[in-house]
Amino acid sequence: MTAPATHDLPVVVIGAGPVGLAAAARLLERQLTPLVLESGPAAASAVRDWSHVRLFSPWGEVTDPAAEKLLAPTGWIRPDAAAYPTGGDWAELYLQPLADALGDHVRYGATVTGVSRAGRDRIVDADRDSQPFVVHLTTADGHEERLFARAVIDASGTWSVPSPIGADGLPALGEKTAADHISYRVPDLKDPAVRARYAGKRTAVVGSGASAFTALATLADLAKEDEGTRAIWILRRGISGSTYGGGEADELPARGALGLAAKAAVDNGYADAVTGFRTESVERDADGRLVLVAEDGRRLDPVDEVVVLTGFRPDLSFLSELRLGLDERLQAPTALAPLIDPNVHSCGTVYPHGVNELSHPEQGVYLVGMKSYGRAPTFLAMTGYEQVRSIAAGLAGDQEAAERVELTLPDTGVCGGAGLFDEPENAEQSGGGCCAAPSTLQIGIGAPVTATGGC
């Protein structure tokens, strides 16, 4: 089959999540044809997996302007900009309606298995840039297809590849064989089956971020109703003044409340903290319970369940035939990595960026959204919307607009993250998003976002 002329082809967008759907809206705004390929049966499949979790960000900070324009003629009612959605709210009240408005531009049950240049593997130079992209996919019924594209925007996120329990970045010995008692998601204790899994059990929670705080707080609530429930909080480092976040002084009040709830779980005896514990192996005792063993030889008392919340990483396997320029540490685009390095930056100090920072040696391919940040946890939803605005402008040939970064952020940035499941008031009292009321910033290339606090 001969590849068609590149200019007649759609721009393939991988993933119908928040940033992927925003990319499609931005492409249509530029009179370009998007084709969104979503592996799940509906829009925002990954978001639906954490539908019980409340965002730190209000509605006004998690919708894209081009998407809102596309939704307006459908009778869509914009949610209260100051209210805080759960993941389920985000999916049902905004993302699915947006996908519906995009109509045939979105295909479900389409899992991308490979992307390359037509007739060129990654080692072939000859006439490479003039060839269209070829995208291989598998449908829900197992049928294989290939499509051609003028450009590829990968907005597939990192949700499908959670980081393991092993402190060296690899699965701990025995981790895979103990998979029936290990979860990599914040448990939804409203689900009776999930609740039964943890009620009256000893659960180890591994991680030190907002997701771990959420798990500890909800397990503590369960322990108040079921005295047999106990959490063991495993930290690879020690406990310091910043372990629980800023507490009442946190510029993100919803996050501060969550940190305080996790601290209360420990202080009130619902959870025991184990510090400096870097897991090397997972063993089973005679009763089939799990025993975590540290690199220094320490062995914890047996637990029934383990919840691993140590972050996520990008799946790059289906992009192996493309020439990507990725930072060796973060697995983010080379030019973007130093701007988002979590060793240096919080979400509030991430520099604005667009098509230039997201480009690769392979022209016409872009990693956007959470996937563009690789292993860095400081991604902001509005940053992803700005990324795809810039890329759509670049693909349309409007380089001036592509390089003119237009970023709307609260004072200290907006972090992704989990709020308490059943306590929206913790967020509602924050007085304007994760941080302060949004203000529009017109920022030149490479200028920093001024921040007064972290994420």
Contact 290, 206 (CB under 8 A): no
Please list the ranges in the chain whose pLDDT falls under 50: 249, 410-455
pLDDT at residue number 209: 82
Average pLDDT score, the chain: 86
CA-CA distances (angstroms) from residue 354 to 15, 333, 368, 386?
19, 11, 10, 7
Query: What pLDDT does residue 200 have?
Result: 97
- What's the confidence (pLDDT) of residue 226? 93
Q: Scanning the structure block, which residue is given the tokens 């302060």?
A: 436
155 with 369: CB under 8 angstroms?
yes
Tens of pLDDT along 7-60? Answer: 789 999 999 999 999 999 999 999 999 999 999 999 999 999 999 998 878 899
What pLDDT shows up at residue 5? 66
Tokens standing for residue 348: 């509030």
Separation of alpha carbons 64 and 55, rounded Å: 16
Are 365 and 325 spatial neighbours (Cβ–Cβ below 8 Å)? no
Buried b / exposed e over 387-422, threshold 16 CB at 10 Å, is bbbbbbbbbbeeeebbebbebbbbbbbbbbbbbbbe
